[in-house]
Amino acid sequence: MKSKLKHHIVPEMGLKPAALDHVEHINAFRDDESSSAPDNSEGVSSRDFFFGLLENAPDVFFSLTPEGTITYINPAIETLTGWKRDMWIGRPFSELLVNDTGDNTARNYLEFENGRQRRVFEADILLSGGGSVSTEVSVSLRTKRDKVTGIIGSLRDNTRRKLSDEAHALQERRIRSLYEISAAPGVGIETQLVETLKTGADMLSMEVAGVGRIAGKNCTVLYCYDEMGRVTQGLECDLSKTYCKITLANDDVLAIDHVGESEYRNEEFYRDFGFESYIGVPLRINGKVFGTLNFASPHPRKEPFTTADKDFIRLMGRWISTMIERKRAEDMLKEKEELYRTLVENAHDLILEILYDGHIMYASSNHKEILGYEPEELFGKNAFEFMHPEDRSAVMSAFIQGFRSGSAGRAVYRYRHKNGEWRWFEGTGKPFRTSTGEIRAIVDTRDITERKKTDEQIQESLMQKESLLREIHHRVKNNLQVISSLLSLQSDYAKDEESLALFYESQSRISTIALIHEKLYQSRNIDEIKMLDYITDLTRNLLRVYKDFGENIHVQINAYDISIDVDQAIPCGLIINELFSNCLKHAFHYRDSENVTRRTRNKVSVEINSDSDGILTLSVRDNGVGFPDTTDFRNTNTLGLQLVCTLTDQLKGTIELRNQNGTMFNIVFPISTKKTRGNE
């Protein structure tokens, strides 16, 4: 048995000799069948079943020796990090780790305190292209007769990926097409390969597709699709005279939009084949170069190859390599049955296999530990019946959509514990097709009840702080009103009209600022002011203050859907206060009110709008007698216009006076954001 195990495992998984003892130890458990394994009456072996669970799981699963050397890792590592999974077999798991939460939890992942056999921690994992990704790591000890024989675990991406809808839809269609080809029942592998090449050629807008097998200095066409018939199966060529040579030299996807205008225009393969555009990728099996996957056309590309095209051909390369490797993978499954069973049954997450209608076909044994149910209690029952009624409808809709699209989906919901308690879970489901062509789904769920409690505490704290801030605005407004009242009392002692006017102006400015704070504590959003409501109340207050001047005046305000933050609202409000007050006091001063009312209507308008570039324009206009031509508004002795100019500079804006059919001041300034304020 030992020699057979070595024969199958070492070539296929790339295990180093140091890891063989662990693999042989795992193999000793092959006869231990779990009572929760699925029925084999339909010809699906438990080996196939457990292998399918792991190979199709959306999260990364792995196994380690007691010393931390990786002996198995599923394909999800390639999706998560970009690393080829074969290159990590036989290497220390710690080499994947970048850092941890600061307490050396991740670096000491082999230490299990107080007799515990499972640990969960956060760690950053290296990406193949540089950088890292934050993950949640779960590791569990595997023992036999109180002796540690290995470690099993899983990784889950903690970040949320944001793909554009268009690119995602394109890649989804491409992947679904490949999936449908490989999942078609009763179709041989050679037919699948040719159909895959044809589909790839169509999706890449290329006329020729082929798989070349590299042997020494020769390249042989194993499978091909050629609308023109110039490339045929079995064609053998000198490797140096083919596109395969430059593809292997590039060691990754090689894409040429126009060969005749590239550095390869003088190569023999260009003269011999005459292909003007080309894209190819090396094929590797067990970490060794097997050949190349090639697509070509006699025409230059109308549109350059995109990143999505390169990602797609990389995926096709792995897909085709998998097809060629399928027979050896099936043999390897027989040797790995117990390992896969152990990984699934001892994972920290709950794992379900369910049908399209939600009926449970398999439940991992840790349902007993986490939810109180024996796996046998769940078989045949509908998974949605255990969900909270408020969450069920949304999860079912997402579940059905995932089945239709063939893509993985994620949802957060409440699940009922056997004792009646509702616990929060985050579930990831991915559909797959069985050997009989039936579509099912693997659902991997994780208990996040404690995380939800923490989130709720944070939200409650934010609400308390927001309430406190509203109270501060309310008190500031009240204090400013007290100051305004004191000025009003003091104005009773003014001995002349000029002094009384100064009191009125000061009260007006204080009320303008107080109104800002009043609007803030009354608003749902305590960071911004809705200018329409604010300007309406501000002008109404000014009309009351200057009621002797404000008779027979029509006020028009245009400020729909304009909101600005408090740092700009205060200077903007003071500018409006000064300009609007000037209109009331001076714009119609030289008109005979009775005659003017019959002849024309006295108007004052305040307008504020913004454009797509984040520039805001404030205009205050009247149809009065106009601004004196002999006066420079930037150099006056009056405090009001001095304030207007100073506040405009504070807003980093510009001010312009138009003196036609009345007076109009235009103030233009950029709308401030939290980000720009932070950089000041």
pLDDT of residue 56: 86
What's the whole-number mean pLDDT along residues 602-623? 90
**DSSP type of residue 146:** T
Among 11-15, 161-165, 266-270, 547-551, the range of highest mean pLDDT: 266-270
Distance CA 211, CA 233 (A): 9
Nearest to 72 by CA among 32, 23, 25: 23
- Whole-angstrom Cα Rg for the chain: 37
Q: What average pLDDT score do residues 79-102 get?
A: 83
552-680: same fold as 354-447? no
Q: Average model confidence (pLDDT) for the chain? A: 78
- Say yes or no to pLDDT of 441 above 60: yes
Written as one letter, the residue type at 107 is R
Q: What pLDDT shows up at residue 147?
A: 87
User: Which residue is it, tokens 């060529």?
Assistant: 237
Stretch 70-85: mean pLDDT, rounded? 91
Q: Mean pLDDT across the stretch 409-433?
A: 85
CB contact at 8 A, 26 and 342 = yes
In this structure, whether the domain defined by 171-327 belongs to CATH 3.30.450.40 is answered with yes
What confidence category does residue 484 fall into, taking pLDDT thresholds of 50, 70 and 90? low
Other CB atoms closer than 10 Å to residue 16's CB: what's the count?
13
> pLDDT band at residue 674, thresholds of 50, 70 and 90?
low
CA atoms of 518 and 535, how far apart (whole Å): 13
**CB of 214 closer than 8 Å to CB of 244:** yes
pLDDT, tens digit (0-9, with 9 covering 90-100), for 556-572: 988 877 888 878 888 88
Report d(CA 336, CA 30) in Å as an integer. Answer: 8
pLDDT of residue 593: 47
Residues 6 or more apart in contact with residue 23 via CB below 8 angstroms: 5, 9, 15, 71, 339
Q: What is the DSSP letter of 567?
A: H
* Span 278-323, pLDDT tens digits: 999 999 988 888 999 999 999 999 989 988 899 889 988 888 888 8
What is the rounded distance in angstroms from the CA atom of residue 569 to the CA atom of residue 601?
Answer: 30
**Which pLDDT score is estimated for 621?**
92
Which pLDDT score, from 0 to 100, does residue 480 have?
65
Where do the domains of the chain lie? 2-161, 171-327, 354-447, 449-526, 552-680
pLDDT, one tens digit per residue, over 622-668 is 988 888 888 888 888 778 888 889 889 998 999 999 988 889 999 99
Q: Given this model, what pLDDT does residue 293 score?
A: 92
Q: Above 90 in pLDDT, residue 131? A: no
DSSP assignment of 64-77 equals: E-TT-BEEEE-THH
Per-residue model confidence as pLDDT tens digits over 209-268? 998 888 888 888 888 888 777 778 888 888 888 888 889 989 899 999 999 888 888 888
Instruction: Classify domain 354-447 by CATH number.
Output: 3.30.450.20
16 confidence band (pLDDT: 50, 70, 90): very low
Confidence band of 12 (pLDDT split at 50, 70, 90): very low
In whole angstroms, what is the distance from residue 656 CA to residue 633 CA? Answer: 10
Q: Which CATH superfamily is domain 2-161 in?
A: PAS domain (3.30.450.20)
pLDDT attached to residue 677: 45
Work out whether the CA dihedral 591, 593, 599, 602 comes out positive or negative.
positive
Q: Compute the distance between CA of residue 406 and CA of residue 444 in angstroms, rounded to an integer.
A: 16
Instruction: Return the closest-CA partner of residue 211 out of 282, 293, 283.
Output: 293
Give the percent of the chain with pLDDT over 90: 11
Q: Which CATH number fits domain 552-680: 3.60.40.10, 3.30.565.10, 3.20.20.60, 3.30.420.40?
A: 3.30.565.10
pLDDT tens-digit map of 347-375: 678 888 888 788 888 888 888 888 888 88
Lowest-confidence region among 20-24, 99-103, 190-194? 20-24
For 298, residues 6+ apart whose C-beta sits below 8 A from its C-beta are: 207, 228, 274, 275, 276
Listed residue (206, 62, 81) closest to 142, CA to CA: 62
Q: Residue 184 has what DSSP assignment? A: -
* pLDDT at residue 590, rounded to an integer: 58
Closest C-alpha among 229, 211, 207 to residue 221:
211
Give 661's DSSP letter.
S
pLDDT of residue 300: 93
